[in-house]
Amino acid sequence: MIPAISLLGGTTRPIEAAVISGPKSPKPQKPFLNHTLKSLPKSFNLDEAIRRIESSPAKYTDPETYVLLLHACISHKSLYHGQRIYQHLQNLSKYQNGHNLIQNPTLKSKLITLFSICSRLEDARSIFDNGFDNEGAPESVWVALAIGYLKNKRFREALLVYIDMLWHNVQPGNFSFSVALKACVNLNDLRIGRGVHGQVIKSSEEPDQVVNNAVLSLYGQFGCLNDVLKMFDEMPQRNVVSWNSLISGFSRQDKLFEALDLFRKMMQSERVEFTWVTITTILPICARLTVLNSGKELHGQIIKSAKRPDILVLNSLIDMYGKCGLVDYGRRLFDGMRSKDLASWNSMLTGYAINGHMRAAMEFFDEMISSGMKPDEVTFISLLSGCSHAGLTENGKKLFYKMEKDFRVSPCLEHYACLVDLLGRSGRIGEAMEIVKTMPMKPSGSIWGSLLNSCHRHGNISFAESIAERLFELEPNNPGNYVILSNIYANAGMWDSVNKVRETMQIRGIKKEAGCSWIQVKNRVHTFVAGGGFEFRNSVEYKKSWNELSEAMKEIGYVPDTSVVLHDVNEETKAMWVCGHSERLATMFALVNTADGMPIRITKNLRVCIDCHSWVKVVSRITGRIIVLRDTNRFHHFKEGTCSCNDYW
């Protein structure tokens, strides 16, 4: 019994009929194949080859001749020659009794494949439906049609072919399983995918590596990490595709450090060579974690590779360098590219914008337009976001309205979010609210969250309370919204209101996200949590460096700004808490464990507080170090006591 899977209902329908693998025909005797004819398709002299068989149809009646010709047509995607061969085969079956070659499963599969790769799926389906009863069609013919649909991104039809095959009592094999599983991945259908996996397990045929990798990819796509690990551990053989699926599955679930560890294990312990797919999976992880050393190491591997990197790899490198704060490195790569696509320009533009280089970003945008490259939605999201964080309110507004008028890019939700953030950051909260009221789509939680942040920045309590109410309805479990409202009340000294918000969080079981910073020293990532790092803070090296730095800061006149501690406690406790913020611990760790003069690169999961921002500025002045700090909003490049954000973030 083979359970047939229904796309329309939630049940399976059993097939009671016996499973067959297709009719067996006696092996035909091969007539002598003219060596000249055999050589013609290989040299792609198909006109001459087809002329010969058309002139002497009775001479060429063995399937091998036509398989060879069709294989050449497939290799060169020659629809014209394929149609001539198909017409000849139809004529042959019509006028030459006993030579109905179209019924040959191998030829039928080749014809279906040819028409499919030439995007003539209706013709491919017609060939499949005609010629012989599909009750007797072997698996290979069904698979050829399913693959045709799959390669033309018609995934539902590909899966329906597989299901129809089951209903015709054709026993699925590894080719069928791999096609069905890939269709499920692209249809985002885990339920049916699990059903296919069940059939793989029950099948008498051992699954090959392609099928196992397809199952791995399915579970990785849906974040079923337990299934992914179980499948991976049970695989008798693993190749780079298996590792890519495993790493990608962890990356999708934001298990980024674990994904990096898996990549190192793949390369170092298992000695598996990477592919460009591996690289384009790992580089975005390096970008998100801001682990520049790992990104540079990958770049070195790419340079050493005998293969020339494709445009996707180069775009990933540009993106990685931009998101690790080295925009100049990305620009060198960009300038050296032989060909560039829209993603290349957008990656470079995003790098300029998030690092606060808005003059360079606008100049680069002009260069992009002059080159003939048309901007898209992503282009304007990068520019508008950059204008917002740089305080270029009027420039951003002009760009927003110019976007549709001059470039025919209709604003989407993300563009409106940027515009609202742009106005709100500059204190124009009333104007931002008008945009929200008149925008053509329903405002998202991110738009209301941006407005709440603006209220926090400018101390606007009346707007904050009404905005928070909407947010609590849209995102009842988002701790950030409660924390911002609590901070707004705390800044205003409204401690009763602060306590009410905290009580609400406690009742609803909502916990505040802890401040966390990390730094890569050599090839190891060190993580620090606010108020933690006790072992390091109790070390002799830390105490010595901290005391020396504190003395130097006092001489300059630095005094901690305890207003950032939004708790009703005394000043001494506030000062102590400020000193325990995660970005300070990461900075101190870098000062202790890296050589003098080396740049320090830190990433934080939350927005850097005002006092830590001032503290890092002073540290960069005293130590002469360049300190690059990336928070949730943007990059801060500290050098000689100043920051690239100009204290606007």
276 burial class (0-12, 13-18, 19+ CB within 10 angstroms)? middle
* Residue ranges covered by each domain of the chain: 516-643
pLDDT confidence tier of residue 62, bands split at 50, 70 and 90? confident
Place of tokens 């360049």: 626
pLDDT confidence tier of residue 133, bands split at 50, 70 and 90: low
For position 515, what pLDDT does the model report? 86
CB within 8 Å of 536: residues ≥ 6 apart: 528, 542, 585, 588, 589
Q: Which of 36-50, 361-375, 603-617 shows the lowest mean pLDDT across its residues?
A: 36-50
Q: Which residues touch 346 (CB under 8 Å, ≥6 apart)? A: 376, 378, 379, 382
| 8 A C-beta contact, residue 627 and residue 633 | no
SS3 readout for 208-222: CHHHHHHHHHHHHHC
- Residues 400, 401, 404, CA angle at the centre, nearest 5°? 95
**Higher pLDDT among residues 400 and 66, named by residue:** 400
Q: Given this model, what pLDDT does residue 21 score?
A: 34
Is residue 20 predicted with pLDDT exceeding 50?
A: no
Check pLDDT > 70 for residue 310: yes
Given this model, what pLDDT does residue 198 score?
Answer: 95
The model's confidence at residue 43, banded by pLDDT at 50, 70 and 90, is: very low
Indicate if the pLDDT at residue 132 is higher than 60.
Answer: no
Look at residue 61 and tell me whether its pLDDT is greater than 80: no
pLDDT at 69: 86
| Region 98-110 average pLDDT | 79
pLDDT tops 60 at residue 96: no
pLDDT of residue 290: 93
- What span, in angstroms and rounded, lies between the C-alpha atoms of 482 and 465? 11
Q: Which has more pLDDT, 533 or 498?
A: 498
pLDDT higher than 70, residue 477: yes
Q: Quick check: 124 and 116 in contact, CB under 8 A?
A: yes
Instruction: Give residue 566's pLDDT band: very low, low, confident or very high (50, 70, 90).
Output: low
Residue 33, helix vs strand vs coil: coil
Beta-bridge partners for 636: 629
Could you tell me the CA-to-CA distances from 205 to 172, 200, 569 in Å, in that order?
9, 8, 70
pLDDT one-digit tens code per residue, 175-199: 999 999 999 999 999 999 999 999 9
Q: How far apart are CA 143 and CA 149, in angstroms?
A: 10
Return the pLDDT at 619: 96
Tell me what percent of the residues of the chain surpass a pLDDT of 90.
71
Q: Which pLDDT value is given to residue 49?
A: 78
Distances (CA, A) of 567 to 28, 496, 609: 89, 12, 15
Contact 512, 505 (CB under 8 A): yes
Q: Which of 220-224, 405-409, 541-545, 558-562 has the lowest mean pLDDT?
A: 558-562
- Which run of H or E residues covers position 14? strand 12-15
The pLDDT tens digits for 426-458 are: 999 999 999 999 999 999 999 999 999 999 989
Q: Look at the alpha carbons of 499, 505, 511, 514 in this order and tell me if their dihedral is positive or negative.
A: negative
Task: Report pLDDT for 58.
Answer: 61
pLDDT one-digit tens code per residue, 387-436:
999 999 999 999 999 999 999 999 999 999 999 999 999 999 999 999 99
pLDDT at residue 534, as a whole number: 83
For residue 273, is pLDDT > 90? yes
Q: Which of 501-505, 551-555, 573-577, 614-618 has the lowest mean pLDDT?
A: 573-577
Half-sphere exposure (Cβ direction) of 503: Cα atoms closer than 13 Å:
6
Asked if residue 81 has pLDDT above 50, the reply is yes
Task: Give the dihedral sign, CA 599/603/607/612.
Answer: negative
Is the pLDDT assigned to residue 41 strictly greater than 70? no
Q: Structure pTM?
A: 0.82
Phi/psi for 521 (5° steps) reads -115, 120
Name the residue among 384, 341, 351, 345 with its Cα closest to residue 366: 345
3-state helix/strand/coil string of 82-151:
HHHHHHHHHHHHHHCCCCCHHHCHHHHHHHHHHHHHCCCHHHHHHHHHCCCCHHHCCHHHHHHHHHHHHH
Residue with tokens 């917002």: 388
Q: Kind of pairing, strands 524-529 and 642-643?
A: unpaired
pLDDT digits (tens, 9 = 90+) for 232-270: 999 999 999 999 999 999 999 999 999 999 999 999 999
Q: What is Dmax (Cα atoms) for the chain?
A: 105
Q: Alpha-carbon distance 566 to 491, whole Å?
A: 7
Mean pLDDT of the chain: 87
Which of the four pLDDT bands, split at 50, 70 and 90, describes residue 571?
A: low
CB 89 within 8 A of CB 66: yes
